[in-house]
Amino acid sequence: MTAELENDPPQEPFAAHEPVRRNGSIVLVLLVAFGIVAVAVALMTIGRAQAQPYILGLLALLAMVGLFNLFAFAAGIIRFADRAADDPVISRIADHAHDGLAVTDSRGHVVYSNAAYLALTGAATAADVRPVERVFIGNPDVSEAVFRLLKAAREGKRQQEEVRIAGADGSQGRWLRMRVRPLGQGKREAKYAVWSIADITRDRERQEDVFQELQHAIEYLDHAPCGFFSVNAGGDLVYVNATLANWLDHDLAEIGNGGLKLTDIVSGDGASLLTSIVAVPGEVKTEVFDIDLRMRSGKTMPVRLYHKLAFGADGVPGASRTLVINRARDEHSDPQRAAEVRFMRFFDHTPMAIATVDRAGAVVRANARFAKLAQSLNPDGAAGKSIFRAVNPRDRHLLIAAINQAAEGQGDIAPVEAMLDGAKERWGQFFVTAVEENERETEAAIVYMLETTERRALENQINQSQKMDMVGQLAGGIAHDFNNVLSAIMMANDFLLNAHKPTDPSFQDIMQIKQNATRAATLVRQLLAFSRRQTLRPQVLDLGDALSDLTMLLRRLIGEKVKLDLVHGRDLWPVKVDVSQFEQVIVNLAVNARDAMPDGGKLTVRTANVTAEEAARLTYKGMPAADYVRIDVADTGTGIPADIVEKIFEPFFSTKEVGKGTGLGLSTVYGIVKQTGGFIYVDSEAGEGTSFHIFLPRHHPEQEVQPEAAAASGAAKEPAGDAKPRTDLTGQGTILLVEDEEGLRSLNARGLRSRGYNVIEASNGIEAMEALDGKDGAVDLVVSDVVMPEMDGPTLLREMRIRNPNLKIIFVSGYAEEAFDKSLPENEQFAFLAKPFALSALVAKVKETMTPS
């Protein structure tokens, strides 16, 4: 390495467009060394004492020179030259490079250029060399590219542009590739920029030739007598030739814009065959399929596909290359091939999945429906390779046994009902048959499969509905019989209360009996609500107002730990419901939600209108499309496990501890909603909360029966329940009391006689008719049970009206009034009293009915 001095300002590093080369000289070094040695010898000859001042002076001189060089090197005045940079080989490479090279300084002046740069820029000598921007000044086709290059050079960045220079005489011109990059990495060296210009005209011409050849190939492919298409892994058609587009009556522009998918042009489940091909990574596979393509008009066209797929190293298939041969002409030219076409149509379009398998269960051949089923079960294609992978491991042994029987040539193999494999619960029925003996080496059996998921769901739904109806009938029957017992208890209790004063020691025990009887009557009403046999008094209601009125009650019920959020829908439609029963529905759901959130949470009650179109799009089964008002009651509690969701509406079913609930809360909700004509569904997941969705039918005021018509049809019946007792409940007249329960009948007769009435008792309808005939129809009032042996209440009423059209009658029953209302003739008027009832309610109803209006 040699040192070089730099003057201030520094000189140009490139002289006459050649790199500056300053080589060190060994002769100069030897001369300096000999001089120092000669001085040392001379000083030794004159003696040590005389030489000491000269030696000190020489050392001081050398020290000064060394110190000066250190400061000069630190200041950059002296630097060590790199001989590799001054290598003449590198200079000759740059001078004779094929691309034009030029180096510019920070002011844009060219400090170096090679011969190729002079030739490309049209400079005659080195003195005429110009920077790039001055070479192409005034050329509008190049100015933008040059501007971007200059901007990159000023910012010390790399940039490349390709531009076309038009010929001066109107010729085609030439293409240039221009690049710029900073020179070196240091701050001082980065002041220079290296420009390169390359003539790429021939490369461009080759590209254009290749493009022209490709255009010719595409034009040939488009008008070939066969169809071609390509589909990507997502099922989108990326290419369709003109022949196939013409066959299918599709527009090429529509296909090119990604407007069509494979399923749009393949009929039935045929697309599943093409997308179910599985291969090892890196394999190129071609499959032959006979399927039907779908035209724009909906018609089908039989074709044979040669479907070619290349799989990458990761096993993902690329875009297909598929040849399409139209087989429609075979139906007329070749009867044998026509039969083959018809068979393939039948094979692929049958609604049953069909596959031939070997003894190990590997799928040898399959139709389109089986390919679609395999894809839906296992997206990775495992079910398409082995039929056993389509079945849940729990039931897999059943299908294995059936295929082994077929492999041994056995016939009459029983169908196999098995759960299918996959994330969702799905079921299928497999029919296995044996193949001919000479084919068993490759194929052991033919397997036909029908998916039975919907059928099983429907069967479960019907079974659940029948179960609920049977339980409802049982609950209603129990409630009816128990009401008779409660009526007798409550009637006898009233007699005891009348006979004992509050100061009597037994009075508190009698009151305890009454309270427990009233509590039992409440449970019976809940059973009747579930069995949909309770008496409802519906009225037109705005749910938003009704829920607002319940807000304070709900907040007290759920406590401070649970946040209540009411979200009212806008312009809710009116509904016709029993207000008290609707409130019971909301209260029961709120209490259940509170119990499911012991550590607190959020209870949301939301209302909204649901149009018939929206209802049709819902997935809830059994609910017809109509206008509804929807009430959602959602909590953030513990949720309901999946194995008991279907049981929550059953009476006496409860997940609470013993003594913490009767199990009638949700069953009451279910019965009230159903009796109102609505629907209730539940969505829940353990640990994720529960949502109840209630749909009440929209009330149309224009369909409401006018009051006059209602009165004529017997709608103005007397209200049921305990009437408000009047001051005077005594009366006169003859009452025919019809009751099949002897104990209850005697108590009712005793109570009516105690109020001054003449009572005739009958145990059934036949005895009642005989008693009426004995009085020649001169009876003021008939009090009759509804459900009786030999002759029920409605039949008794019709027979009595023949003898006395103006006869007044009160029906008493443990069932709802609507349970027998339809069996009565039109325009019949009667009063109704629901069991169980107290003595005061009975005498009040009798007094009210017998009083002339």
CA–CA dist 471, 19 (Å, integer): 107
Evaluate if residue 452 carries a pLDDT over 90. no
With CA atoms as reference, report the closest residue to 588 among 471, 694, 477, 472. Answer: 694
How would you label 178-205 residue by residue, b for 16+ Cβ within 10 Å and e otherwise? bbbebbeeeeeeeebbbbbbbbeeeeee
In this prediction, residue 608 has a pLDDT band, given cuts at 50, 70 and 90, of very high
Give the model's pLDDT for residue 411.
79
| Three state DSSP letters for 379-439 | CCCHHHHEHHHHECCCCHHHHHHHHHHHHCCCCCCCCEEEEECCCCCEEEEEEEEECCHHH
Phi, psi of 597 (to 5 degrees): -125, 70
Q: What is the mean predicted confidence (pLDDT) over 741-762?
A: 85
With CA atoms as reference, report the closest residue to 832 among 815, 840, 823, 779. Answer: 815
CA–CA dist 727, 73 (Å, integer): 128
With CA atoms as reference, report the closest residue to 842 among 766, 737, 768, 760. Answer: 737
The better pLDDT of the pair 488, 716 is held by: 488
The better pLDDT of the pair 551, 21 is held by: 551
DSSP assignment letter at 648: T
Give the model's pLDDT for residue 380.
64
- 373 Cβ neighbours under 8 A, 6+ residues apart: 353, 383, 390, 449, 451
Q: What is the mean predicted confidence (pLDDT) over 150-161?
A: 88
Give the model's pLDDT for residue 85.
47
Residue with tokens 């022209």: 212
In this prediction, residue 478 has a pLDDT band, given cuts at 50, 70 and 90, of low
| Three state DSSP letters for 463-516 | HHHHHHHHHHHHHHHHHHHHHHHHHHHHHHHHHHHHHCCCCCCCHHHHHHHHHH
For the chain, percent of residues with pLDDT exceeding 90: 4
Q: What is the mean predicted confidence (pLDDT) over 48-71?
A: 79
Give the model's pLDDT for residue 609.
92
Give the model's pLDDT for residue 631.
92
Q: What is the pLDDT of residues 809-853, one digit of tens each?
A: 888 876 655 555 656 666 677 888 877 777 788 888 888 888 875
Q: What is the mean predicted confidence (pLDDT) over 362-387?
A: 77
With CA atoms as reference, report the closest residue to 499 among 751, 829, 762. Answer: 751
The better pLDDT of the pair 249, 277 is held by: 249
Amino acid identity of residue 43, one-letter, is L
In this prediction, residue 84 has a pLDDT band, given cuts at 50, 70 and 90, of very low
List the single range of 79-93, 237-251, 310-324 with lowest mean pLDDT: 79-93
Specify which of 69-83, 508-522, 579-593 reaches the highest per-range mean pLDDT: 579-593
Evaluate if residue 561 carries a pLDDT over 80. yes
Give the model's pLDDT for residue 716.
34
Evaluate if residue 709 carries a pLDDT over 50. no
Q: Which helix (H) or strand (E) holds 776?
A: none
Q: What is the pLDDT of residues 437-448, one digit of tens each?
A: 766 677 888 898
Max intra-chain CA distance, the chain = 181
Q: What is the mean predicted confidence (pLDDT) over 533-556?
A: 77
The better pLDDT of the pair 784, 816 is held by: 784
For the chain, percent of residues with pLDDT exceeding 70: 78
Please state whether beta strands 781-785 and 808-813 pair in parallel, antiparallel, or not at all (unpaired): parallel
DSSP assignment letter at 569: P
Evaluate if residue 800 carries a pLDDT over 80. yes
Give the model's pLDDT for residue 310.
85
Give the model's pLDDT for residue 514.
77
In this prediction, residue 21 has a pLDDT band, given cuts at 50, 70 and 90, of very low
**CB-CB contact of 374 with 384 (8 Å):** yes
The better pLDDT of the pair 27, 783 is held by: 783
Evaluate if residue 628 carries a pLDDT over 90. yes
The better pLDDT of the pair 127, 526 is held by: 127
Report the half-sphere exposure of 852 (CA within 13 A, side-chain side): 0
Evaluate if residue 693 carries a pLDDT over 90. yes
In this prediction, residue 330 has a pLDDT band, given cuts at 50, 70 and 90, of low
CA–CA dist 796, 790 (Å, integer): 10
Q: Encoding tokens for residue 139?
A: 């050329």
Q: What is the mean predicted confidence (pLDDT) over 559-565?
A: 88
Q: What is the pLDDT of residues 196-252, one digit of tens each?
A: 998 888 888 888 888 888 877 777 777 788 888 888 887 888 888 888 888 888 877
In this prediction, residue 708 has a pLDDT band, given cuts at 50, 70 and 90, of very low
CA–CA dist 694, 719 (Å, integer): 28
Give the model's pLDDT for residue 846.
87
| Secondary structure (3-state) at 78 | strand
Amino acid identity of residue 379, one-letter, is P
CA dihedral (160, 161, 162, 164) in degrees, to 10, reads -150
Evaluate if residue 700 carries a pLDDT over 70. yes
Evaluate if residue 396 carries a pLDDT over 80. yes
Evaluate if residue 720 carries a pLDDT over 50. no
Give the model's pLDDT for residue 654.
54
CA–CA dist 343, 272 (Å, integer): 19
Evaluate if residue 12 carries a pLDDT over 50. no
